[in-house]
């Protein structure tokens, strides 16, 4: 099948590439651009490990073709850290609050939390849980992931983070 040319922005850089129409975005990112941060988990649009940010939307990159992303502006976990190389507040939150164990879901969780906090600067615990309901974690039980996102929200809002009593 003939390849199509696509042009898009990935983590701030312009990219031109030839792709087969059937190439899924996750395969394009991992295999053609060597961005192996977004993970392939379930491959059935359930787990969210492949989540990337596309034109201001969190999307599961296993359920969209690379050709559909022609012209898009994409951010993966590789593009989340601050420009000076320091950790983004969400990444710091995951470290400080022990928001991961095996780490497989973490790129998707952080990328999703990034968009969530863009849309809702001060989410309640309930809003965080609904907001990350498309991302599965099989280790943590989610408690510390929620705390990590609360930590990040507090830091981004410039207020001290207060852990709720358990």
Partner 1 sequence: MIPAAFSYHRPKSVQEAVALLAQLGDNGRALAGGHSLIPMMKLRLASPGNLVDLAGIGELKGVRADGNDIVIGAMTTQHELVASDLLADKIPILRETSLQIADPQVRYLGTLGGNVANGDPGNDMPAVMVCLDASYDVTGKTGARQIAARDFYQGTYLTALETGEVLTAVRITTPATGHGWAYEKLKRKVGDYATAAAAVMLTMKSGKVDSCSIGLTNVADTPLWAQEAAKILTGSPLDTPTIKQAVAAAEAITSPASDARGPTQYRTKMAGVMLARALDRAKSRARG
* Contacting residues toward partner 1, per CB under 8 A: 1-2, 4, 20-22, 24, 27, 43-46, 48, 51, 57-60, 63-65, 67-68, 70, 112, 116, 130-134
- How far apart are alpha carbons 153 and 105 in whole angstroms? 20
- Smallest gap from Cβ 138 to partner 1, in A, equals 14
- Smallest gap from Cβ 129 to partner 1, in A, equals 10
Using an 8 Å Cβ cutoff, are 157 and 105 in contact? no
Output 33 or 87, the one with its CB closest to partner 1. 33
- Smallest gap from Cβ 125 to partner 1, in A, equals 16
Q: In the chain, which ranges are E strands?
A: 4-10, 13-19, 51-54, 57-60, 73-75
- Smallest gap from Cβ 16 to partner 1, in A, equals 17
Total Cβ atoms within 10 A of residue 129: 14
73-75/57-60 β-pairing: unpaired
């Amino acid at each position: 099948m003939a390849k199509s040319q696509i042009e898009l922005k990935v983590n701030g850089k312009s990219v031109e590439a030839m792709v087969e129409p059937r190439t899924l975005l996750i395969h394009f990112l991992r295999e053609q651009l060597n961005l192996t941060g977004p993970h392939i988990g379930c491959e059935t649009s359930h787990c969210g490990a492949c989540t990337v940010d596309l034109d201001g939307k969190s999307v599961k990159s296993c359920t969209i073709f690379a050709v559909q992303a022609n012209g898009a502006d994409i951010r993966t976990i590789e593009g989340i850290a601050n420009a000076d190389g320091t950790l983004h507040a969400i990444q710091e939150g995951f470290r400080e609050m022990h928001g991961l164990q095996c780490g497989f879901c973490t790129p998707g969780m952080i990328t999703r939390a990034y968009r969530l906090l863009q849309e809702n600067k001060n989410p309640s615990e309930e809003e965080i849980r609904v907001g990350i309901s498309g991302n599965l974690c099989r280790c943590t039980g989610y408690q510390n992931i929620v705390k990590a996102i609360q930590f990040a929200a507090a830091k981004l809002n410039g207020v001290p983070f207060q852990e709720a009593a358990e």
